[in-house]
Chain A
């Protein structure tokens, strides 16, 4: 008797859970051979809203977690991804990559996660500063996460684009709502399963699949989103996002980067989504020869 293959249901990831879209809709993207990749959730604006609520709820404990512990958790994502490498390679191939390219992409994704895991307890020391001022104050600047960050990943990449944009943002203590690549959504959902089985608290990363065009306006106008990272290539879409962002003066960052390059990573992807807080602490001389400190 031949066996009936069980086809995976790809669901979205909100607040550490895998609901179906509240709209009940789906779409069926195809690969270049015309094969259907799967029935994928066509998320609605209410899903965007729910994801933002989940991300807001998670921000307190994630941003206040010890930096070292955040690094451990990010490293754990890399460990879990390593264990499921084969599945990602298979999905990338199914979506049109060559075997060689797929393997390279997954390896690079794992390495990049480890790279940002290492940064968690180090970026603060580099981007913060003690500032010389003319009054009797100890004046210092520290980086603080911006809050809830919306991320629109590049359309031409299923895994490495998402990893490259998400990891530096959560590394710095932000929580994120990610709109996955519309026509290459498989790895995004499987990555959510990796997150789920690692130690990332629910709500820190929320991943939605569906029409970017439909979800972007909701995400970019949402008053409870503090910043947006745009990985797409459409200047008109970016312009619309920037205009919407004015509503609550969200920061908008757009990166036109080839994420498959080994050096497409760096401190500025972390520090971009940090606000700098400067503190004036009344004090006498701090570092002078007559200082009591």
Chain B
């Protein structure tokens, strides 16, 4: 790689601000005290539904499971009128074609994880092939993982180049870069990795694979939102955010939406710029909507299986 570029990555990383963890915790605690009731709650719940990347990323996934999930993505709960669909389904590359054909004639997108998800422990050539395969199968979005080992070893230029190379392989597909914040250990690292991903060409930055705990804590999401905000203030370019893993209740989803609104503003409150990576969140939101309509607490017995 060129020496100047290497130098500029060093500069980029050293320019990342350090994070005041206690301050972040206090700020995040305040988002959780907002009381969202009645019509606003209903609006927030529907908005939340529309931002979900309905996800199945298991070794035991089968075509049948993926098809069933795609059906759910389009028909969340037909008994309830005026429901949006989810934003996308998120699957392994081998399931992209199946998902794509199951979702034909719908606005639901297909996102595919790639780059040797979830560990990312594979050579670049394999990661590129993985990505190209998913794109050729018809993926609208690619969720890549960064090389956390390299990042923690300080090889920022390697991580940067890798993201840039995958971005190039994506073509028209939008690229989400998974930082796997549970392995980055500190909020300072989360901020550095966010800056690295954004400058390397990410369309979205995403917290976690969902395989490592802790995943999308509000502290981590807040730190990443600030990185997006700083980038927007500097360049005028919007970057998307996707917290994934651990957001399974409507309440937590609404807290996240409040945070996005207060940190980034209303422009980010669409599924073009904000997503939830989740599998069981959809049902909890549906049960909340039904609770608002009937006044009665609901049971998962009356909703489709996740």
Contacts and interface: CB of A to CB of B under 8 A. Distances in A.
Interface stretch (B52-60, B102-110, B198-206, B293-301): B293-301
Given A221-B296, A222-B296, A223-B297, 18 more contacts: A48-B297, A49-B297, A52-B297, A218-B297, A221-B295, A221-B297, A222-B297, A222-B299, A223-B296, A223-B298, A223-B301, A223-B302, A224-B297, A224-B298, A224-B299, A224-B300, A224-B301, A247-B296
B275 to A, nearest CB: 26
A1 to B, nearest CB: 39
A223 B295 CA distance: 11
Which of B298, B299, B302 has the most A CB atoms < 10 Å from its CB? B299
Nearest to A221: B296
A248 B297 contact: no
A48 B296 CA distance: 12
Interface of A: 48-49, 52, 218, 221-224, 247-248
Contacts of B297: 48-49, 52, 218, 221-224
A221 B298 CA distance: 9
Interface residues of B, number: 8
Nearest to B298: A223
B236 to A, nearest CB: 43
A221 B300 CA distance: 15
Contacts of B296: 221-223, 247
A122 B299 CA distance: 31
Which of A48, A52, A223 has the most B CB atoms < 10 Å from its CB? A223
Contacts of B302: 223
Contacts of B295: 221
Contacts of A52: 297
- Counting from the closest, the 4 A-B pairs by CB-CB distance are A224-B299, A223-B299, A222-B297, A221-B296
B85 to A, nearest CB: 25
A144 to B, nearest CB: 15
Contact of B299 (A48, A218, A248): A248
A182 to B, nearest CB: 22
23 contacts: A48-B297, A49-B297, A52-B297, A218-B297, A221-B295, A221-B296, A221-B297, A222-B296, A222-B297, A222-B299, A223-B296, A223-B297, A223-B298, A223-B299, A223-B301, A223-B302, A224-B297, A224-B298, A224-B299, A224-B300, A224-B301, A247-B296, A248-B299
A167 to B, nearest CB: 25
Contacts of B301: 223-224
A12 to B, nearest CB: 18
A48 B298 CA distance: 13
A148 to B, nearest CB: 9
Interface string B49-77: 00000000000000000000000000000
Contacts of A48: 297
Contacts of A221: 295-297
Contacts of A222: 296-297, 299
A251 to B, nearest CB: 15
Interface string B282-297: 0000000000000111
A48 B301 CA distance: 19
A218 B297 CA distance: 8
A292 to B, nearest CB: 38
A157 to B, nearest CB: 28
Contacts of A224: 297-301
Nearest to B296: A221
Contacts of A218: 297
